[in-house]
C-alpha cells in the first residue's frame, strides 16, 4: 500500500521500470506536465522522424513517395501495422489516416444503413461534442431529424454511463451504436467487450471512439468483435498537434464499400491506372480518402518506437498505479478543501487521468500553471490530471499534490478569475 511520505514517492520511482523514458521527451526539469490526455509531449525521436521526412522532400522531391527510409506512398499502411498492437487489431485492420472527426464521418457513412424500423443511432449524453455533431449531421444527410433519431443514453450521476443502461437502450429501432472507450471528462473506461456482445446479440453494429484510451490502455478490438473504431494520436500517442488519426475496421467488414471514397482508398497496385472505376483496397486501407498528410504523420514513426520498446501493458500497469497513488494523495492531503474525485475508482473502469471536481476549478488551474504545473480544465468544474506513464514520475505527483495543497491553504487561487480561457 501507499505511504504519504516524500521518500515513498522516491521509492516508487526507483522501482519504476519506465523511469528512464522521461529523457526521451522535451520537458524542463521542474515542469510537471499533466495534460498528456489533451496533447502529449514531443518525443525526441518524433522530432527526428519528422526531420527525416522533411529531408526526403528536400533531397528526393517527388521521389520521396517511393524512395528513402519511409516511402510516403506506404506510410499510412506501415504505421497502421505498428499501431495495430496498441488497439488489438490485425495489421490489415488498422490504418493511420484522417482526423478523429473525419474518420467518424467515414465510418458512420459506411456502417449506418437504416432499414425498415432500424433507423436510429445510439450514443451517450457525455460524449465529446464533435462526435455528437458528426452523428447529428449523418442523420440529417439521411433525411432524419436528429432530435428523434439520435438516442443519447443518460448518465445517472452526471459523470459516468452505466453499461446496463446502454444495453437497455439497444432496442429494435437501433441500427448503429457509437460510444467512447473512455469518457473524456470523468475518465470512465467502458466495457468494450460486454457492450459489443450485447449489441451483436441484438443485431446492431457498434463502433468506439478511442481518443482517450489509445496509447494508455491496451485494447482487443479484433477479439472483442468491435465493428469499427477511430481515435487520435496527438493525445497519449504523442504525435503532435493535428497529428493524423487512426481507424480500425474489423476484417468481417472488408467487403463493404466505404461511404466516402477517394483515390487513396484504391488497391495500391491499381491506384495509378487512373481509371474512373474505383477498385478498393481489400483491407482497412479502403477507408482512406485523399493524399496522406505526410508531415502530420511523420512524428508517429519515432513516437511508436517508444511504445514498441516499453510495451502497452507496462504503460497501463504504471498508469494504473500512478492514478491510484494520485487519488490516495488527494484523499490524504486535500480532504479539507472541497474536492470530489469524479473518476471511477476500480482499475477496470478507470482511464488514464483522474478527474477532480471543484467549484473554483478554473482559478485553481490558473494558479497551478503559475507554479509550473500544466493541468487541464473542463468547464464548469473539472480538473483533469493525467500522470502519463512515459514522462510523469511518482515524485511529480507528490509535488503536484503538495503545490495544490499550498494553493488551497493560502487561498492564492482566489487571485484568479474563475472563468475558462479561449482554449480549455
Ligand atoms: C480529442 C477528441 C476528439 C477530437 O477530434 P478531432 O477530429 O481530432 O478534432 C473527438 N472526440 C473525442 C472523444 C476526443 O477525445
Mind listing the domains of the chain with CATH numbers?
6-30+313-415 (3.90.1150.10), 49-308 (3.40.640.10)
394 alpha-carbon distance from chain centroid: 23
The whole-number average pLDDT for the span 175-183 is: 98
The whole-number average pLDDT for the span 239-245 is: 98
Nearest-atom number in ligand 1 for the CA of 102 is: 7
DSSP lists the bridge partners of residue 231 as 246
Percent with pLDDT over 90 in the chain: 98
The C-alpha angle with vertex 318 and arms to 312 and 319, in degrees rounded to 5, equals 85
Mean pLDDT of the residues in the chain: 97
**CB of 279 closer than 6 A to ligand 1?**
no
Any binding-site annotation on 212?
A: yes
Any binding-site annotation on 263?
A: yes
Mutational pocket test of ligand 1: of 105, 126, 232, 238, the residue with most ligand atoms within 8 Å of the beta carbon = 232
Torsion 206-211-212-213 (CA) sign: positive
CA 131–ligand 1 middle distance (angstroms): 7
Determine which residue's CA is closest to atom 8 belonging to ligand 1: 100
pLDDT at position 187 is 98
Q: What is the per-residue pLDDT across 65-121, written as a single tens digit (0 to 9) for each?
A: 999 899 999 999 999 999 999 999 999 999 999 999 999 999 999 999 999 999 999
The whole-number average pLDDT for the span 229-243 is: 98
pLDDT at position 421 is 82
CA 161–ligand 1 middle distance (angstroms): 19
Mutational pocket test of ligand 1: of 105, 182, 211, the residue with most ligand atoms within 8 Å of the beta carbon = 211
**Across the chain, which distance is largest between two alpha carbons, in Å?**
70
**CB of 9 closer than 6 A to ligand 1?**
no
**CB of 130 closer than 6 A to ligand 1?**
yes
Q: Is the peptide bond before 212 cis (omega within 30 degrees of 0)?
A: no
**CB of 209 closer than 6 A to ligand 1?**
yes
358 grid coordinates:
471543484
Any binding-site annotation on 209?
A: yes
Q: What is the per-residue pLDDT across 334-360, written as a single tens digit (0 to 9) for each?
A: 999 999 999 999 999 999 999 999 999
| Nearby residues of 236 by Cβ (< 8 Å), 6 or more positions away | 36, 37, 40, 212, 213, 214, 215, 216, 352, 388
Determine which helix (DSSP H) or strand (DSSP E) holds 122, and give its type and residue range.
strand 120-124
Any binding-site annotation on 269?
A: no
424: pLDDT confidence band, cut at 50, 70 and 90? Answer: confident
Any binding-site annotation on 239?
A: no
**CB of 211 closer than 6 A to ligand 1?**
yes
**CB of 210 closer than 6 A to ligand 1?**
no
Any binding-site annotation on 128?
A: yes
CA 209–ligand 1 middle distance (angstroms): 8
**CB of 232 closer than 6 A to ligand 1?**
yes
Any binding-site annotation on 273?
A: no
Q: What is the per-residue pLDDT across 362-413, written as a single tens digit (0 to 9) for each?
A: 999 999 999 999 999 999 999 999 999 999 999 999 999 999 999 999 999 9
Determine which residue's CA is closest to atom 13 belonging to ligand 1: 128
252 grid coordinates:
468481417
pLDDT at position 375 is 97
Task: Tell me the whole-structure pTM to 2 decimals.
Answer: 0.97
The whole-number average pLDDT for the span 313-332 is: 98
**CB of 100 closer than 6 A to ligand 1?**
yes
pLDDT at position 420 is 82
Q: Is the peptide bond before 380 cis (omega within 30 degrees of 0)?
A: yes
The DSSP code for 46 is H
pLDDT at position 422 is 83
The whole-number average pLDDT for the span 41-47 is: 98
Amino acid at each position: 500500500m501507499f505511504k504519504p511520505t516524500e521518500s515513498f514517492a522516491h521509492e516508487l520511482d526507483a522501482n519504476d521500470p519506465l523511469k528512464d523514458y522521461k529523457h526521451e521527451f522535451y520537458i524542463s526539469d521542474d515542469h510537471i506536465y499533466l495534460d498528456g490526455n489533451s496533447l502529449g509531449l514531443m518525443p525526441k525521436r518524433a522530432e527526428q522522424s519528422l526531420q527525416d521526412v522533411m529531408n526526403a522532400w528536400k533531397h528526393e522531391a517527388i521521389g520521396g513517395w517511393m524512395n528513402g527510409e519511409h516511402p510516403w506512398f506506404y506510410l499510412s499502411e506501415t504505421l497502421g501495422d505498428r499501431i495495430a498492437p496498441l488497439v488489438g487489431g490485425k495489421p490489415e485492420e488498422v490504418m493511420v489516416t484522417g482526423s478523429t472527426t473525419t474518420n467518424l464521418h467515414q465510418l458512420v457513412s459506411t456502417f449506418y444503413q437504416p432499414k425498415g424500423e432500424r433507423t436510429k443511432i445510439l450514443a451517450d449524453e457525455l460524449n465529446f461534442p464533435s462526435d455528437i455533431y458528426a452523428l447529428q449531421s449523418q442523420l440529417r444527410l439521411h433525411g432524419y431529424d436528429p432530435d428523434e433519431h439520435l438516442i443519447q443514453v443518460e448518465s445517472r450521476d452526471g459523470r459516468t454511463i452505466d453499461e446496463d443502461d446502454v444495453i437497455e437502450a439497444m432496442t429494435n429501432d437501433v441500427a448503429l451504436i457509437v460510444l467512447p472507450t473512455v469518457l473524456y471528462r470523468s475518465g470512465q473506461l467502458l466495457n468494450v467487450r460486454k457492450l459489443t456482445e450485447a449489441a451483436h446479440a441484438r443485431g446492431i453494429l457498434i463502433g468506439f471512439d478511442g481518443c482517450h484510451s489509445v496509447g494508455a490502455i491496451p485494447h482487443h478490438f479484433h477479439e472483442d468483435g468491435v465493428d469499427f473504431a477511430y481515435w487520435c494520436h496527438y493525445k497519449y500517442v504523442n504525435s503532435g498537434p493535428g497529428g493524423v488519426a487512426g481507424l480500425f475496421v474489423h476484417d468481417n467488414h472488408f467487403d463493404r464499400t466505404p461511404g466516402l471514397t477517394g483515390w487513396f482508398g484504391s488497391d495500391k497496385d491499381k491506384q495509378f491506372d487512373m481509371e474512373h472505376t474505383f477498385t478498393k483496397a481489400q483491407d482497412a486501407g479502403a477507408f482512406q480518402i485523399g493524399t496522406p498528410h505526410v508531415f502530420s504523420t511523420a512524428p508517429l514513426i519515432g513516437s511508436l518506437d517508444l511504445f514498441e520498446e516499453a510495451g502497452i501493458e507496462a504503460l497501463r500497469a504504471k498508469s494504473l498505479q500512478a492514478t491510484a497513488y494520485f487519488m490516495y494523495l488527494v484523499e490524504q492531503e486535500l480532504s479539507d478543501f472541497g474536492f470530489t474525485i469524479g473518476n471511477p475508482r476500480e482499475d477496470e473502469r478507470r482511464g488514464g487521468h483522474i478527474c477532480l471536481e471543484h467549484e473554483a476549478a478554473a482559478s485553481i488551474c490558473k494558479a497551478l500553471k503559475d507554479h509550473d504545473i500544466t493541468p487541464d480544465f473542463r468547464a464548469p468544474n473539472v480538473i483533469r490530471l493525467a500522470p502519463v506513464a512515459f514522462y510523469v514520475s511518482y515524485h511529480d505527483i507528490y509535488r503536484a499534490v503538495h503545490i495544490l495543497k499550498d494553493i488551497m491553504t493560502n487561498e492564492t487561487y482566489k487571485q484568479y478569475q474563475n472563468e475558462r480561457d479561449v482554449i480549455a
